[in-house]
Structure 1
Amino acid sequence: MYSTAPRSAPGSEEGEMTLEKSERAHKASQVNLAAKLSKKDSTAGSTGKEIMRLLRLAKREKFPLAMAILCLLISSAVTVSLPTMIGRILDAANGTDKEDEERTVFGFPLKVFFAGLAGIFVIGGIANYGRVVLLRTTGERLVARLRSQLYRRTISQDAEFFDANRVGDLISRLSSDVNIVAKSITQNVSDGLRSTLQCSAAIGMMCYTSLQLTSVIGLIVPAAVAGSYWYGRRLRKLSRDLQKAIGSMTKVSEERLSNIRTAQSFAGEGIEMRLYNDKIRNVFSIGKKEAIAAGLYFGTSGVIGNITILAMLGLGSGMVANGSMTVGELTTFTMYAGYAGISAYGLASFYGELMKGVGAASRVFELLDREPPIKATKGMPVPHARETITFENVKFAYPTRPAVNIFEGVNFTIPPGSNVCIVGPSGGGKSTITSLLLRFYDPTAGSIKLGDTDIRDFNLKSLRRHIGVVSQEPVLFSGTIAQNIQYGSPHATRQEIVQAAVRANCSFISDFPDGLDTFVGARGAQLSGGQKQRIAIARALIKNPSILILDEATSALDVESETLVNETLAKVMQENSTTISIAHRLSTIQRSEFVIVLSTDGTVAEHGRFAELYMDPNSALSKLLKQNENAPVKPPTKVELPPPEEELDQEDEEYQDEPSNDNKNSNKL
């Protein structure tokens, strides 16, 4: 517990309220994030292995990729042949001693040659069209398949994984990271292959045209290669950092927008803007570093390229003057040199984008490679779950807080078909019982049995199909009321949905014009708390569960809603299911036949029939209920607020509150 005892501050006459950390808080600070992705001490695999794995993702698209490469070869051949054609045309045009009809290129009259060249250009355009269409469609299929695999792996993870990782980061991996990966192995590989072919062909034709001029350009190649290598390595690191920063930004937006009403009720728009802008500035900072690296590389490469062109033209013009090279040959060589330079830039860009893909792929593979410790499909099916539930010397601590023991040897038995309520102090582990029964976590010691079988021996999906849960804060999905009820049993008929709604006392559905087809809005925002709770009960009942868990199902409701939900639960508890209620209100506890009382030391304080424990003034149940009823209400304390923080950025000023005239200089409540 935190201590709020006054402590005198130096130089102050009044006591200062402080929060002293308890021993439990010190234990809780021992955090275990073994399930967290992108840990600081994690190291990426070798670049070569990551690139090969990246390319293996496209293995199922071999045929369309092969056709795209064929189209690429055709279009590249047309492009590479163009300088030679132009050079021959210029030389033919310079032959002044011949009539137009006598001038030929490659033995063809000029008119015939031009007509054939136009046809070749059309073929090149068609091939280019095929390349683009094939690569784009292949990329979209790859994105869809990769996202499906990644989402399947994500939703199969255990609770520890979601405790350690924020949803925003996972969404970032599913969206932007997958897009970068798909682009790297489709469009980017195509561009890289085209640049490689054109660069190789251009250099070959340069050597064929003039080996002397080619040797001059060859002196520049080592510097260009070194610059490309540095740029690619730098870009890989920045890309991974950028994706992390985008993931962090997505976390903030996802969390804050999902709780926008709370933020607005506290007039906290300015705080939210400042927090989000901090993340934006982080993304911008990394993007700026990437821009500087790109500017250095391309600026330096541009200077080197221009100097090379000057040297080539200076030497080439001298060769034309002394007759060792024609104007057409110099033109051809110059164009091939330009092609080689453009292709070299393309290769550098390809390498940089490939490193971006490797950076994003490492985040995708990290999630794809994580095997959940609790396998959903391993184990034998549950024949029937109307069996005795036994907790035998169960010890448990949440994996992310291993030093804080929730249970220290819990023992109790729940007979089949019984109605049991689990009570205890706040933080005593009541809801943890639900998590253990559903195998969101496994005990650190001891066992939980259904009949004579440890639930760890059962197929996880089979076990959960026999358990219905109604939580304290019911979660509804965007969709209709019928779709939310049917979620408990996907193959349920319309009649079964209606029956479940009737059993759950959802008579309010008749007041909606669209009835069961009424859209509930995001997270059920169009419904009241009591309505959402009864739909959640119907969702649990439609699967006819052998075990029904009611986790403080009425604690957050108003009196009217609680009465309606309690009427529903009273009917449900008369059925054959084993009902486990987790509660702290007497109105909920007294509906149960048996009561299990948990203590603060992680053990069972007592268990027995409700009537017997309630009538005994010395029982742990009576003391707990009396403690809840007589909880003291402390008067408000005058608190000195800290000085106001620095003003927000100029773009956030519209969210600042203007203080009233009579309170501008006051910081006290």
Structure 2
Amino acid sequence: MAIPHYTGKMTDWIMNEDEPEAFNHAITVMTLMTIMSAVCEFVCDLIYNITMSRIHTSIQGLVFQSVLNQDIAFFDKASTGDIVSRITTDTNTMSESLSEKLSLLMWYFMRVIFLFGSMLLLSTRLSIFTALGLPIIWIIPEFSGQFYQKLSVQVQESLAKANDVATETFSSMKTVRSFANEDGETERYRKCLEDTYALNKVEAAGYAASTWTNSMSSLALKVSILYYGGRLVTGSDVSSGDLVSFVLYELQFTSAVEVLMSYWPHVKKAVGASEKIFEYVDRKPDIPPDGSLTPQSLKGHVQFKNITFAYPKRPDTDVLKNISLELKPGQITALVGPSGSGKSTIVSLLERFYQPQNGEILLDQKPLLEYKDQYLHEKISVVSQEPVLFARSVRENIKYGKENASDEEMRAAAKLANADDFIDNLPKGYDTDAGEKGGQVSGGQKQRIAIARALIQKPQILVLDDATSSLDTESEHRVYSALQKNCTVLLISHRLSGVEDADHIIFLRDGEVAEEGNHEELLAKHGFYEEFVNQQNTSIHRNTEDVTNSESATNSLFLKNVHNC
């Protein structure tokens, strides 16, 4: 910024020719300042870009960690595509805008301050005249910046919807292919992209209009200053050299202001993109404070006392109604009942995913909330009907959450789950990739791997939520036989197998305990449980008859339908 000053000195020397040393002095100083400026700019850019890269990595990791720490109800409401879009697209948009535009914004802001100071030293009147014209080129970009920020939020929301469609489609590809609905999903995605494109067009038009108005207002200001400066030189109020220096400073000044105004909408866009990001970062999960209990030994005695619960999305519908039940150490307790009776909800409460509206859950006579969360999930292992395997090796899936386990512990858990034999027969054994969501193994194999993953934790409480539904009778029997009696087992099943041998059976109906006892006691009551057993036996009998006696009727009906087609 000293170069215009010395350019004006050279102009005075050329016109007066009475100070020959001034020319050499000005050239020397300008050369040194140019070299120093280049070196400083290189060092500054290097430090800044490294810093912004670290900030981007830090923010992306912070958002990911913040999302992981949210309560389960948050994931019930937020779509996967929206979350992924916030972590990837929005953080990239924010970081790129900040790393490219904020750097220049800060740099030109300092230039504006020092340039205007230099202009004041040369001519106060010209500086005041310039300052009077600045509000014109400030007001317009402010309005366009607000408009740009709102559009940016809408564009990001539209992209999140498109990502949601893509994520949902790819994660359910087998269902899409089964119903031959590729064109339908393509059309859904295309409509989302059309909405985004329409917003992009409005955004582009707004940006073009903002740039045009900025340029025209700046040009008008330059012409006015040249005219007024020429009048001052004619009146001998400023020298020709000072006018040249002032014009050079003014050109840099207005150019810097133009850059500030043009980059300001981009920074506003980054702010708009960051709103959703920091909604996740600033969101406080709706979970109670982590407890502190981590006892050396745990019996696994669980008591549900007068529990009433409704899901956050349906607060007016009680899933559990003043329910009380007990899981005793070393026993297999079976939960049976029709769909929607609250069986899986009890598991979610036991895992502390949700908090009951009324009542208390005790573990070894102490409130569940007083236990440390990590300790609790180490002592409670759950295997669901549709267990999720990760796109990693079978070895990594079994050791998930316990990476420091030895291969001997892994094989022991696999043998208990009746999974060791089939894993050894896989192409790469335990190093075979399970595929996305376990797509490379069958349903029964997936369940056995998930059971091994639970058993390697050596839990004190083992929950099998219809976890053997895809196993044959022999494999199911071997799994139940392997369950150690030194832990509490909660068995949830829609099938009679396994339930009969349970130490205690609880029949749920409409969120309440309808009956409880062992198999013989419940049959003697001639109530809901007996009806459940009769339905199971009738279903098995019907399936057998369907296979042996209804082939001719089925074939006849099939041929008739084919003829009609």
| Alignment TM class, shorter chain as reference | 0.7 to 0.9
Which residue among 398, 410, 417 is the counterpart of 2:330? 417
Which residue among 541, 554, 557 is the counterpart of 2:455? 541
- Aligned equivalent of 1:175: 88
- Aligned equivalent of 2:298: 385
1:394-446 deviation per Cα after TM superposition (whole angstroms, max 9, x unaligned): 21111110111111122222221111211111111111111011111122112
Q: Would you say how many aligned residue pairs link Structure 1 and Structure 2? A: 542
Shift of 1:151: 2.2
- Which amino acid in structure 1 is aligned with residue 441 of structure 2? L
- The separation in 2 between residues aligned to 1:151 and 1:530, in whole angstroms, is 33
Tell me: CA distance 1:445–1:375, structure 2 relative to 1, closer, same or farther (3 Å): closer
- Which amino acid in structure 2 is aligned with residue 82 of structure 1? I
Which residue among 166, 182, 185 is the counterpart of 1:272? 185
- Aligned equivalent of 2:529: 621
**Secondary structure class of the residue paired with 1:201:** helix
Which residue among 338, 353, 362 is the counterpart of 1:449? 362
- Aligned equivalent of 2:514: 605
- Structure 1 segment 392-471 matched on structure 2, within 5 A: 392-471=305-384
- The separation in 2 between residues aligned to 1:522 and 1:87, in whole angstroms, is 70
CA contact (8 A) 2:466 2:492 kept: yes
- The separation in 1 between residues aligned to 2:149 and 2:352, in whole angstroms, is 40
- The separation in 2 between residues aligned to 1:118 and 1:285, in whole angstroms, is 51
- Structure 1 segment 222-621 matched on structure 2, within 5 A: 222-316=135-229, 329-375=242-288, 377-506=290-419, 507-555=421-469, 557=470, 561-563=471-473, 565-599=475-509, 601-613=510-522, 615-616=523-524, 618-621=526-529
1:438-467 deviation per Cα after TM superposition (whole angstroms, max 9, x unaligned): 111122112222232221222222222111
Normalising by structure 1, report the TM-score. Answer: 0.74
- The separation in 1 between residues aligned to 2:444 and 2:474, in whole angstroms, is 8
Tell me: CA distance 1:553–1:85, structure 2 relative to 1, closer, same or farther (3 Å): same
Shift of 1:549: 0.6
Tell me: CA distance 1:158–1:629, structure 2 relative to 1, closer, same or farther (3 Å): farther
Normalising by structure 2, report the TM-score. Answer: 0.87
Tell me: CA distance 1:195–1:406, structure 2 relative to 1, closer, same or farther (3 Å): same
Shift of 1:548: 0.7
- Aligned equivalent of 1:636: none
- Aligned equivalent of 2:555: none
- The separation in 1 between residues aligned to 2:359 and 2:232, in whole angstroms, is 90
- Which amino acid in structure 2 is aligned with residue 541 of structure 1? L
Q: Which has the higher mean CA deviation after the structures are superposed, 287-296 or 457-466? A: 287-296
- Aligned equivalent of 1:14: none
- The separation in 2 between residues aligned to 1:478 and 1:495, in whole angstroms, is 23
1:124 aligns with 2:31: no
Which residue among 79, 82, 85 is the counterpart of 2:3? 82
CA contact (8 A) 1:397 1:444 kept: yes
1:600-643 deviation per Cα after TM superposition (whole angstroms, max 9, x unaligned): x3211111112443x5482312212434565799xxxxxxxxxx
Shift of 1:597: 0.9
**Secondary structure class of the residue paired with 1:391:** strand
Tell me: CA distance 1:519–1:123, structure 2 relative to 1, closer, same or farther (3 Å): farther
Shift of 1:138: 1.1
- The separation in 1 between residues aligned to 2:427 and 2:292, in whole angstroms, is 46
Give the structure with the larger helix fraction. 2
**Secondary structure class of the residue paired with 1:589:** coil
Shift of 1:567: 4.1
CA contact (8 A) 1:570 1:591 kept: no
Tell me: CA distance 1:428–1:132, structure 2 relative to 1, closer, same or farther (3 Å): same
Tell me: CA distance 1:564–1:236, structure 2 relative to 1, closer, same or farther (3 Å): farther
- Which amino acid in structure 2 is aligned with residue 571 of structure 1? S
What stretches of structure 2 of length at least 5 have no aligned partner? 544-563
Q: Which has the higher mean CA deviation after the structures are superposed, 154-163 or 116-125? A: 116-125
Q: Which has the higher mean CA deviation after the structures are superposed, 620-629 or 460-469? A: 620-629
- The separation in 2 between residues aligned to 1:497 and 1:105, in whole angstroms, is 85
- Aligned equivalent of 1:58: none
- The separation in 1 between residues aligned to 2:241 and 2:428, in whole angstroms, is 79
- The separation in 1 between residues aligned to 2:74 and 2:361, in whole angstroms, is 22
- Aligned equivalent of 1:44: none
- The separation in 1 between residues aligned to 2:151 and 2:295, in whole angstroms, is 50
- Which amino acid in structure 2 is aligned with residue 279 of structure 1? C
- The separation in 2 between residues aligned to 1:329 and 1:486, in whole angstroms, is 77
- The separation in 1 between residues aligned to 2:110 and 2:401, in whole angstroms, is 57
- Aligned equivalent of 1:72: none
1:270-312 deviation per Cα after TM superposition (whole angstroms, max 9, x unaligned): 2212222232233333333332332222211211122223333
CA contact (8 A) 2:341 2:512 kept: no
- The separation in 1 between residues aligned to 2:352 and 2:303, in whole angstroms, is 14
- Which amino acid in structure 2 is aligned with residue 626 of structure 1? N
Aligned-CA RMSD value = 2.9
What stretches of structure 1 of length at least 5 have no aligned partner? 1-79, 634-667
Shift of 1:539: 0.6
**Secondary structure class of the residue paired with 2:362:** strand
- Which amino acid in structure 2 is aligned with residue 589 of structure 1? V
**Secondary structure class of the residue paired with 2:319:** strand
Identity %: 31
1:44-95 deviation per Cα after TM superposition (whole angstroms, max 9, x unaligned): xxxxxxxxxxxxxxxxxxxxxxxxxxxxxxxxxxxx2233344444555566
- Which amino acid in structure 2 is aligned with residue 158 of structure 1? D
Shift of 1:372: 2.2
CA contact (8 A) 1:385 1:547 kept: no
Shift of 1:238: 2.6
Shift of 1:212: 4.6
- Which amino acid in structure 1 is aligned with residue 370 of structure 2? D
- Which amino acid in structure 1 is aligned with residue 198 of structure 2? S
- Which amino acid in structure 2 is aligned with residue 516 of structure 1? Y
Shift of 1:487: 1.1
CA contact (8 A) 2:382 2:465 kept: yes
- Which amino acid in structure 1 is aligned with residue 245 of structure 2? T
- Aligned equivalent of 2:547: none
- Which amino acid in structure 2 is aligned with residue 530 of structure 1? G
Shift of 1:177: 3.2
Tell me: CA distance 1:81–1:629, structure 2 relative to 1, closer, same or farther (3 Å): farther
CA contact (8 A) 2:214 2:261 kept: no
1:512-531 deviation per Cα after TM superposition (whole angstroms, max 9, x unaligned): 34322222222222222222
**Secondary structure class of the residue paired with 1:495:** helix
- The separation in 2 between residues aligned to 1:236 and 1:140, in whole angstroms, is 24
Tell me: CA distance 1:502–1:351, structure 2 relative to 1, closer, same or farther (3 Å): same
Shift of 1:338: 2.1
